[in-house]
């Protein structure tokens, strides 16, 4: 097995004295999709934001333990967080497009971080949009406002924007939870295509999605009021399926997240539950 | 009970609005009825004669424009830097951010006559500028900074968090984020703050009284040292104090009318521009 690109060791995160994640250790390799699942509020987003040091943009967080990127701790003094974020891209739950044209959105990072000639711009636009499977839909309106794209297209635009920086790692925080099934399928297909050259870390609530696209899955649980790694395994492994379906992991979520069950993400949650039940009966 | 409260609040709001409208209307009425007799092309293009009893206010208009333009140029970079620092560079709600907010409030509360005296000590005395347009412009600029900085900071705080996160997630540096996200989307607020401040500063007499304005004998400055200007508010101030002639009275109101028009024109012009800027930004 190749050396891990990301090697997380005993990562402990506190926010204003409150323990959020306790000694989480994980590895992610090139050519691999690492899935992270767990109940709402367990600290999945916090974990992702620690990996590209976005966490430190907000006050109050303390991070202990190591996150090694190619063997180097990202918290070392000689690591520049901005450069790190260029190499570790991030896709958010809600697509965020900038109020400008499609082309300018794709090159939003790249054009500011490097000097790009005219032909380089065109080539980068082409390759990024193709890798995000958006090229054919937008090639005739590159200079239209990106705000007119559908949500699913906007999410792929965000992907293209991140890909334009040619990152080695892509962190995705529930990238499909705002999307319909067709748009979700498009993103999942992109994840599978991207992993040939990159390493993907995918946070998802959808167990079926985890089974479909991940190569290794880590389950975080909040049994003791803070996030801990419950187990990690092959997602399609029989034992893992049973574990994934083990409802205690979901049921032990914090009260605030239980409320979420029935409100905002109710629909999504129910889908998750049905997946659990069907897995149970299948096992 | 609830109905009564609603009625009460509607009545208060209504009467407050009516009061403000009435006041503004009365002011406009007085200004126009008393001042319009003085207004003529000659009044706007000639220099003052007979200590304000005849002639025009050309150099007072020019002087006020010079002071206001200087103030704007001085205030803009500081207001921008302080607003961005308060709202974004310093962690939100942190102690340094709150301290800076407090300092801006304090600065806003400094009486303008005090600024004038400080200017007298610093520019006229220590720097040896004598009476100079630059000293007046800088002092007026200082007056504008808190208004503009606070309006900018409030707008930045209300910007969608997601865009700032997304930009940071691309590895963009602070300077990039300021130029490509923060400034374009909050420029309209900065502009509003600047105009609001400028409109007030243009009419101020106290800060320019000792350091920049004279009543007569100045035109366009050609340097810094001992280069005062004439200014509309100072002109009005002197005429109001010293003139007992009917003609001077009329010219006083004429000058006031010109001053009010001068400061409200850019504010009016900015309304459609602000609208456009905000529309573009809020589509995010
Ligand atoms: N600044 C903070 N101060 C205190 N607690 C915080 C702070 N930020 C996050 N938390 C807490 O940390 C926990 C983890 O939050 P996080 O957003 O990472 O969860 P998540 O697993 O991504 O949840 P979801 O599935 O709903 O997105 C939550 O319980 C949250 O309340
Ligand atoms: Mg989350």
Q: pLDDT digit of tens for each residue in chain A (283 aa)?
A: 668 899 999 999 999 889 999 999 999 988 899 999 988 889 999 999 999 999 998 888 999 999 999 999 999 999 999 999 999 999 999 999 999 999 999 999 999 988 888 899 999 999 999 999 999 999 899 999 999 999 999 999 999 999 999 999 999 999 998 888 988 998 999 999 999 899 999 999 888 898 899 999 898 888 788 888 887 777 777 666 666 666 445 544 433 333 333 333 333 433 333 333 333 333 2
Q: Do B12 and B71 fall within a single domain?
A: no
pLDDT band at B252 (very low <50, low <70, confident <90, very high): confident
Distance CA B227, CA B214 (A): 10
Q: Do B259 and B210 fall within a single domain?
A: yes
- Give domain limits for chain A: 6-282
Closest approach atom of ligand 1 to CA A174: 27
Sheet holding A18-28, edge to edge: A18-28, A6-15, A61-69, A72-73
* Fold of the domain built from segment(s) A6-282: Rossmann fold (3.40.50)
* Partner B contacted by A108 (CB < 8 A): yes
* Nearest-CB residue to A54 (from B91, B165, B185): B165
Q: Do B135 and B26 fall within a single domain?
A: no
Write out the two tokens for A106: 């794709």
Q: Do B223 and B248 fall within a single domain?
A: yes
* Partner A contacted by B90 (CB < 8 A): no
Strand, helix or coil for residue A107:
coil
Whether the CB-CB separation of A12 and A23 falls below 8 Å is answered with yes
Lowest-pLDDT choice from B4-13, B170-179, B246-255, B274-283: B274-283
Burial of B198 (0-12, 13-18, 19+ CB in 10 A): buried
- Inter-chain touch A165–B173, beta carbons under 8 Å: no
Q: At what angle do helices B58-84 and B246-282 cross, to 10 degrees?
A: 30
Closest approach atom of ligand 1 to CA A46: 18
Distance from CA of B182 to the nearest CA of A (A): 12
Q: Do B13 and B51 fall within a single domain?
A: no
Pocket around ligand 1 at a 6 A CB cut-off? A 15-16, 18, 20, 38, 40-46, 60
* Partner A contacted by B91 (CB < 8 A): yes
Nearest to A208 by CA among A184, A179, A227, A173: A184
* Partner A contacted by B279 (CB < 8 A): no
Q: Do B115 and B201 fall within a single domain?
A: yes
Distance CA B9, CA B3 (A): 10
Domain ranges, residue B153: 40-283
Q: How far is CA A18 from CA A24, A51, A281, in A?
A: 16, 19, 38
- pLDDT at B280 (0 to 100): 63
CATH number at residue B276: 1.10.3720.10
Q: Do B19 and B100 fall within a single domain?
A: no
Whether the CB-CB separation of B133 and B60 falls below 8 Å is answered with no
Q: Do B103 and B17 fall within a single domain?
A: no
* Nearest-CB residue to A86 (from B93, B162, B171): B171
* Nearest-CB residue to A112 (from B163, B168, B172): B172
To the question of pTM greater than 0.90 for the whole model, the response is no
Report the number of distinct structural domains present in chain B. 2
DSSP 8-state class, residue A252: T
- Inter-chain touch B165–A92, beta carbons under 8 Å: yes
Ligand nearest to the CA of A49: 1
Strand, helix or coil for residue A65:
strand
């Amino acid at each position: 097995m190749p050396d891990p690109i990301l090697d997380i060791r005993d990562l402990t995160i506190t926010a204003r004295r409150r323990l959020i994640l306790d000694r989480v250790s994980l590895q992610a390799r090139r050519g691999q999709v690492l899935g992270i699942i767990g109940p709402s509020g367990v600290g999945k987003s916090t974990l992702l934001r620690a990996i590209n040091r976005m966490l430190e943009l907000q006050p109050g967080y303390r991070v202990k333990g190591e996150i090694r990127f190619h063997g180097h701790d990202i918290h070392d003094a000689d690591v520049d967080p901005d450069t790190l974020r260029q190499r570790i891209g991030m896709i958010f739950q809600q697509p965020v497009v900038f109020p400008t044209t499609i082309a300018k959105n794709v090159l939003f990072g790249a054009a500011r971080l490097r000097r790009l000639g005219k032909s380089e711009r065109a080539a980068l636009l082409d390759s990024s949009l193709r890798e995000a499977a958006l090229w054919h839909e937008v090639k005739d309106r590159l200079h239209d406002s990106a705000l007119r794209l559908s949500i699913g297209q906007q999410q792929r635009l965000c992907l293209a924007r991140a890909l334009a920086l040619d990152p080695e790692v892509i962190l995705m925080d529930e990238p499909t939870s705002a999307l319909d099934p067709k748009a979700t399928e498009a993103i999942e297909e992109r994840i599978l295509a991207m992993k040939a050259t990159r390493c993907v870390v995918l946070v998802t609530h959808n167990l079926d999605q985890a089974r479909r696209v991940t190569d290794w899955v880590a389950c975080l649980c909040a049994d003791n009021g803070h996030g801990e790694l419950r187990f990690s395994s092959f997602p399609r492994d029989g034992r893992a399926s049973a574990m994934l379906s083990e409802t205690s992991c979901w049921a032990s979520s914090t009260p605030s997240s239980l409320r979420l069950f029935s409100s905002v993400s109710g629909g999504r949650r129910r889908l998750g539950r049905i997946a659990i039940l069907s897995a149970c009966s299948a096992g | 009970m609830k109905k009564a409260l609603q009625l009460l609040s509607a009545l208060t709001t209504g009467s407050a609005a009516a009061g403000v409208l009435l006041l503004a209307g009365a002011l406009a009425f007085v200004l126009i009825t008393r001042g319009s007799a003085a207004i003529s092309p000659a009044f706007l293009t000639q220099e003052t004669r007979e200590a304000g009893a005849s002639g025009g206010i050309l150099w007072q208009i020019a002087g006020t424009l010079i002071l206001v333009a200087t103030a704007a140029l001085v205030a803009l970079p500081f207001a921008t830097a302080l607003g961005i620092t308060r709202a974004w560079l310093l962690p939100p709600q942190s102690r340094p951010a709150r301290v800076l907010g407090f300092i801006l409030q304090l600065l806003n509360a400094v009486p303008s006559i005090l600024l004038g005296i400080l200017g007298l000590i610093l520019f006229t005395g220590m720097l040896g500028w004598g009476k100079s347009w630059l000293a007046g412009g800088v002092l007026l600029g200082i007056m504008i900074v808190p208004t503009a900085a606070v309006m900018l900071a409030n707008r930045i705080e209300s910007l969608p968090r997601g865009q700032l996160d997304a930009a940071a997630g691309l590895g963009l540096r602070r300077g990039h984020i300021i130029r490509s996200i923060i400034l374009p989307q909050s420029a309209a607020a900065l502009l509003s703050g600047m105009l609001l401040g400028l409109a007030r500063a243009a009419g101020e007499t106290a800060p320019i009284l000792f350091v920049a304005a004279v009543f007569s004998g100045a035109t366009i400055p050609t340097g810094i040292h001992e280069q005062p200007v004439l200014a509309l508010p100072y002109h009005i101030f002197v005429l109001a104090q010293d003139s007992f002639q009917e003609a001077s009275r009329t010219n006083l109101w004429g000058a006031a009318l010109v001053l009010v028009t001068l400061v409200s024109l850019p504010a009016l012009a900015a309304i459609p521009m602000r609208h456009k800027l905000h529309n573009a930004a809020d589509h995010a």
